[in-house]
Amino acid sequence: MSAKLGEVRANARLAFSRLAGGFWEDKIKEREEVKGREATEFLVMKTREQIGAGEGEREFYNAVRAAYFAGVSALTKLLDKGKLATLTEIERQRYIFNLSARINEVINEIKQEEQLLAL
C-alpha cells in the first residue's frame, strides 16, 4: 500500500511540475497552430479546385449552395424533368441516385466550409 501511495505522490509531483511549467499551454498552442494550418490548406485546396472546375460544375455548386441556404430541396430544383420522362424505371432510379450523391458531396463541402469559417 505504501509503495502505491509513493507512486501516486510521484505522479502528482510530475503532473504539478507540468502544470507549473506551462506544458499544457504549449500543447494547446500547438494544436491551434495545426488547426490554423489545416484550415488554410483546405481553403487553398478548395480555391484551386474551384478555379480548375468546369463551368458546369461551378454552376451546379452554386445552385446547390443557393438551395441549401434557401432551405429548398436541391434535388427537386436540379432534377431535369424532361430527361427523367425519357428514362426507364431503372435509369430513373440511377439518375436520381447519382444526382443526390453529387448534391450530398456539395452539401458536405459547404458544411466543412462553414465549420472552417467559424474557427
Q: Give, in degrees to the nearest 5, the angle at Cα 27 between 24 and 33.
A: 145
User: Which burial class, exposed, middle or buried, applies to 102 when counting CB atoms under 10 A from its CB (0-12, 13-18, 19+)?
Assistant: middle
Say what the pLDDT of residue 62 is: 86
User: Which burial class, exposed, middle or buried, applies to 118 when counting CB atoms under 10 A from its CB (0-12, 13-18, 19+)?
Assistant: exposed
Say what the pLDDT of residue 46 is: 65
Per-residue pLDDT tens digits for 2-52: 667 778 787 778 777 767 777 667 767 767 766 666 667 766 666 666 555
Is pLDDT above 80 for 61?
Answer: yes
Is pLDDT above 60 for 1?
Answer: no
pTM of this prediction? 0.54
Per-residue pLDDT tens digits for 73-95: 889 888 888 888 898 899 889 98
Long-range own/partner contacts, residues 94-97 (CB < 8 A, 24 or more apart): none
Say what the pLDDT of residue 4 is: 73
**H helices within 1-54, ranges in order?**
2-20, 23-52
| Among the ranges given (45-49, 98-102, 104-108), the one the predictor scored with the smallest mean pLDDT | 45-49
Going by C-alpha positions, the residue among 43, 64, 60 that lies closest to residue 116 is: 43
Going by C-alpha positions, the residue among 86, 110, 109, 84 that lies closest to residue 97 is: 84
